[in-house]
Structure 1
Amino acid sequence: MPHTTTQDRSTSEGRTLQGTLPRDCSNAEKTPVRFLLIGVGPHAKRTYIPHLKALEQEGRATLLAAVDVQEHQQSITEYQQKTFPNAELHFVPFFTTEMPTYVALKLSQLATRLDASFVIIATEPLAHTAYGLWALSAGLNIIMDKPVSTRKNVCTSLDEAYGIATDYNVLLDAYLNLQRYKETCFLVNSHRRYHPGFQFTLQKIADIQNKTGCPVTNVNTTHCDGQWRMPTEIVDQRYHTYNMGYGKVSHSGYHFLDTVYQFFKAGFTQQKRPDQIEVVSSFVQPNGFLMQLNTSDYQKLFGLDEYGRSCKYSDDELKALYASFGEIDASIQVTFLREGEAIALAQINLQHNGFARRHWLLPPMDLYKGNGRVKHELHEIKSGPFQTIAINSKQANDKHDRSRPSDAKLGSDNHFEIQVFRNCDMLAEAEPLRTFTVSDIDKEFRSKTPGLLSENVKRGILEEAIEYTEGIKSLNDMRSNLADHSVPCHIMSAIYISHIRRKAGFSPIVHVNVDYRDGMFPKASLSVKY
């Protein structure tokens, strides 16, 4: 019998409520939107807090309070006093599954007392579901970091791998139930949905579909963030961990699962969209990485004595410790099917292990952007014989904050280029190749250009949240509301299921069934044939 998951919910009723319930926006333009931040980690420090401070200076937002875990109390308090002293600071115990009742009561009282409108959930993703359910119970608008959720040991436990899809379904059910009584938005911070370059690409895909009828037929996506971690760090590091049984797919990988989905979605029509998606995955885990670079290699690279002082473990000890650790690299084959026939293919390559600038043994304090990490990103999107779009973004520098002013040249911090190849004779266009730079795209979308493009893009979700609260945008205008994440969340779940089945000697093929009968967004479910 196939192992299946389903979504039993009142989707039709819930989805028709989008944009229909009244909201009081009469004074919104005069009142800054009131934010509560949960999680003051490296990502929040680099993105949410600076952008909220800028929006506060513009009179559009205010950070009321921040919440973090008790074990970080001293360092977070020192940071808060220097960075956002006017906001309250509260601490709760670390948890990952169910939220303790007294914590939920404390947070609800805080949100009510401060009259918060939005909560930003920027915690360890293992806790996303618990915080999301609390925020929904409190009737709050939500911004949640990607991924929607992950689980401990998703690389080794089928139940936990299926749990990623279950978490999404539980959150969506709770969200749709809330919409019966109160309209709110639940935004998932998949920030490439707000990137002008990707919006430009979606327009080009839709243009070809309108002119020729051809959808997207093939996508090749690669992302590598060049995170070279030393063997002891792989065991001990607690930020973007491997030791909790998940890795790259759960770290930044969700961005690219969602982006590939967006590429295909831009070219879908009712007659040419898939009813099933087939997923097959392969991982390189820390034990495979240990075979690529072993202790002998590190000793030659850094010196016998110096490496010996920094590494706690022998290769045999590392091998035993790494046995259940999460993925460093992932290769994912995705096949889109309709009525049993393959109609489109995607290859998604997600890598931590690649070109880096690290040349030191001991890690610095900043593990988010400050440990030699360098980003290389490439997308190639084909629409049959009519169009190929190549998106290329490659850095050569790891010290991004020191390299301004930055240009858009290859290797710079702001390198981002789109090449559009078109069958110009068939389309009655002037030329077969056009190249668009960051400045071209900025002009097209009237984007704000100072600083790093990738960091400015991350302000987009805050802008949308404010525009929603002010009544400028409706729910149907939201680029990343929760209801549109069913397919990428289920693909993420299927990736881990496929890996586990492959390791166990079973067929690695996992199917994501896609049902469009229930409103404007598809409903996904998982199935595996034994």
Structure 2
Amino acid sequence: MGRTTTVLLIGGSGHWAGRENHAPALLDLQRSGRPVRTAVICDPRNPEKRAREQDMAPLRELLWRDSPEWLNPDGLDRTELAAVLDRAHATHRFSLAIIACNPVHHRDYLLWAVSRGISVLCDKPLLVAEGAAYEPAAAERIIGGYAELDRALTRARAAGTGRVHLAMPLRRRANDVYRSIAADISEIQRTRGQGITSMQLIKNGGLFRHPEEYLFGDAHGYRSGVGALSFSSYHYIDLLAWYLELAPGEATTVRVTNPYVRRVGEFLRTRQATVLAELVDGRAGVRIPELPPQVLAAEADFVFNLELIGRDGHKAGLVSYACHSNTYSHRSVGLQEFDRDNRQPFREKGRMSQFTLDINQGSIQHIGVFKNDVVGEDYRIRVQRRRNPVLADETYVEEVFDNAHAGSSVTPQDVLHAMVGLASGEAAPAQVADRIAFFEDQRLSHHLFGTFYELIAANAEGVGSPERFVELAG
């Protein structure tokens, strides 16, 4: 077995890292005999204290096995943080940094790690800026940050100290269901030259918050001045960008507009904001507390249109993405005392994984994807495929994928396993290698995510009907 992979786990006291994915994946590697050690956990929350909680058994075992040092970054500016991390790196010589903290802090950790030749696995969204929902200058820093990170990666790789990898554990890029759809889309593009002409995705979040709960939250709290776009939308933006890059057809440019956005403050002025709280609390007249302006201005619901434009300026089609955060919720409990200590993740407060995706490739192929699940249950995805009868004997096929996420042949934990190997100079397993979402494979996703925030911020500034243009690859 090769040399030990030494891990810096940033945000390791959170539920995704400490309970659901990162800690379990690292423990699996250790049990299989892989020489990997979590040397440092960097998190403002004390991992020892978090590990004593009932639902954090993987973090508890990781602490027992590895006895990692705890670094508390709270209150440190960028220079102080870099100095603290440099001292830790001098002691432990990190091979891999795993970033699972509040996304508004990703940039500092990413730039620090790659500039020192350390490979990185970073949760989504890769980059977002505090206040991006209402400050145009902050929103513009997102795309600027991607360029800055690209330059830092180029310099690190040119230094010749070993391959520096930067990837994200994106479930849909690795998942069997979405890859089967990608294969169908690619085939029609390759054999018939027909790209995507319409693609609509409607996502319903169902994550119901009591009004005061907008002050709470771990990695995805609204106090950073960003909301639902940062919370879970990157997965869907990346899915749309991935499929569009596979089958652009005649399109060379997309014209992006934001015809609708509803902010937290606007949502809280509706009956919808309190009716479920009254039901689960058993009391009427739920009070709307005074919330900070950055919370009220954060995006809750939105729609983006991507008009596909050909080389000669003609309209080649339309892609639309609609996100409704406050839809049907499975929540049946009211505010509890441990919520105030951030001990209960909001993803388990009635959140839904519910969407409809409709894809057409001209008159040749249609694909419909449907999902309607409570987060935490086994996910079921239904896929309907139709092809013109001159191309297929079986013109209609419907498949139901039970346990579609955990049952995929490659999962986010498999991606983490592969990144541990890559960080130590090994090749990724063949079945995983082409399912890792590397930084350089997501150029369009990055630009669309940043562009969406630029438009949301422009909307807050009252700028008419702004638009942005994004070039497609090739």
Q: Do both share a fold (TM > 0.5)?
A: yes
**Aligned pair partner of 2:233 in 253, 263, 267:** 253
**Equivalent of residue 306 in structure 2, options 334, 349, 352:** 334
The residue aligned with 1:175 is 153
**Shift of the alpha carbon at 1:337?**
1.8
Alignment partner, residue 466 of structure 2: 509
- Residue 414 (structure 1) aligned with residue 379 (structure 2): yes
CA–CA separation in structure 1 for the residues paired with 2:164 and 2:184: 31
* Contiguous gaps of at least 5 residues in structure 1: 1-28, 401-412, 440-448, 517-521, 523-530
Does the CA-based 8 Å contact 1:358-1:371 persist in structure 2?
yes
Provide Cα deviations, 1:465-506, integer angstroms capped at 9, x if missing partner: 245342247999574221222322221222222223334332
In structure 2, give the amino acid aligned to 1:99.
Answer: R
Question: SS of the counterpart of 1:168?
Answer: helix
Give the superposition deviation at 1:302: 5.2
| 1:461 maps to which of 415, 421, 428 | 415
Match among 57, 60, 85 for residue 64 of structure 2: 85
Q: For the Cα contact (< 8 Å) 1:464–1:478, is it kept in 2?
A: no
Structure 1 segments, 4+ long, off by >6 Å, are 473-476
CA contact under 8 A between 1:490 and 1:512: conserved in structure 2? no
Q: Could you say if the C-alpha distance between residues 368 and 42 of structure 1 is closer, same or farther in structure 2, counting changes exceeding 3 Å?
A: farther
CA distance in 2 between partners of 1:255 and 1:205 (Å): 19
Aligned residues: 455
Is residue 44 of structure 1 aligned with residue 17 of structure 2? yes
Contact 2:242–2:445 (Cα < 8 Å) also in 1: no
Deviation at 1:248, TM superposition (A): 0.6
Letter in 2 for 1:461: V
TM-score (norm 2): 0.86
Task: Give the Å deviation of 1:156.
Answer: 1.2
- Tell me if structure 1 keeps the 8 A contact 2:455–2:467: yes
Q: How does 1:215-364 map to 2 (within 5 A)?
A: 215-268=195-248, 272-293=250-271, 297=275, 301=279, 306=283, 314-315=287-288, 318=290, 321=293, 324-339=296-311, 340-363=313-336, 364=339
Contact kept in structure 2, 1:34 and 1:117, CA below 8 Å: yes
Q: Which runs of 5+ in 2 are unaligned?
A: none
Map residues 437-476 of structure 1 onto 2, 5 A cutoff.
437-438=400-401, 452-453=406-407, 457-466=411-420, 468=422, 469-472=425-428
Q: Which residue in the other structure is 1:194 paired with?
A: 174
- How much does 1:455 deviate? 11
Corresponding residue SS for 1:278: strand
**Displacement after TM superposition at 1:202 (Å):** 0.7
Matches of 1:33 and 1:341, distance apart in 2? 52
**2:369 is paired with a residue of what secondary structure?**
strand
Tell whether the 8 Å contact from 1:188 to 1:480 is kept in structure 2 after alignment. yes
C-alpha contact 1:378 1:393 (8 A) present in aligned 2: yes
Conserved 8 A contact 1:64-1:116: no
Where does residue 426 of structure 1 map in the other structure? 390
User: Residue 419 of structure 2 aligns to which amino acid in structure 1?
Assistant: A
Please report how far the alpha carbon of residue 265 of structure 1 lies from its aligned counterpart in structure 2 after TM superposition: 1.0
Task: State the distance in 2 between where 1:51 and 1:476 align.
Answer: 17
Q: 1:224 to 1:124 in 2, by over 3 A?
A: same
1:126-137 aligned within 5 A: 126-137=104-115
Partners of 1:493 and 1:451 in 2: how far apart?
Answer: 27
The CA deviation string for residues 428-454 of structure 1, in whole angstroms up to 9 with x for no partner, is x22111122327xxxxxxxxx899348
1:222 Cα deviation (Å)? 2.2
Counterpart for residue 211 of structure 1: 191
* In the alignment, structure 1 residue 435 sits paired with structure 2 residue 414: no
Counterparts of 1:488 and 1:50 in 2: how far apart (Å)?
Answer: 28
Are the aligned partners of 1:231 and 1:318 in contact in 2 as well (CA < 8 Å)? no
| Aligned-residue offset at 1:179 | 1.5
Instruction: Show the counterpart of 2:456.
Output: 499
| 1:276-326 deviations in Å (ceiling 9; x for gaps) | 44232522212222233278746853567x467xx6xx44x5477577431
Which residue number in structure 1 is paired with residue 83 of structure 2?
105
CA contact (8 A) 2:11 2:17 kept: yes
Q: In 1, are the aligned partners of 2:118 and 2:164 still within 8 Å (CA)?
A: yes
Question: 3-state DSSP class of the match of 1:111?
Answer: helix
Could you tell me how far 1:253 is from its partner in structure 2?
0.8
| Contact 1:36 1:116 (8 Å CA) reproduced | yes
SS of residue in 2 equivalent to 1:426: coil
TM-score (norm 1): 0.77
SS at match of 2:334: coil
The one-letter amino acid paired with 1:292 is T
**Conservation of the 8 A alpha-carbon contact between 1:224 and 1:351:** yes
Q: Go from structure 1 to structure 2 and tell me whether the alpha carbon gap of 1:500 and 1:226 turns closer, same or farther (over 3 Å shift).
A: same
Change (3 A) 1:373 1:513: closer
CA RMSD of aligned residues (A): 3.1
Identical counterparts, % of pairs: 19
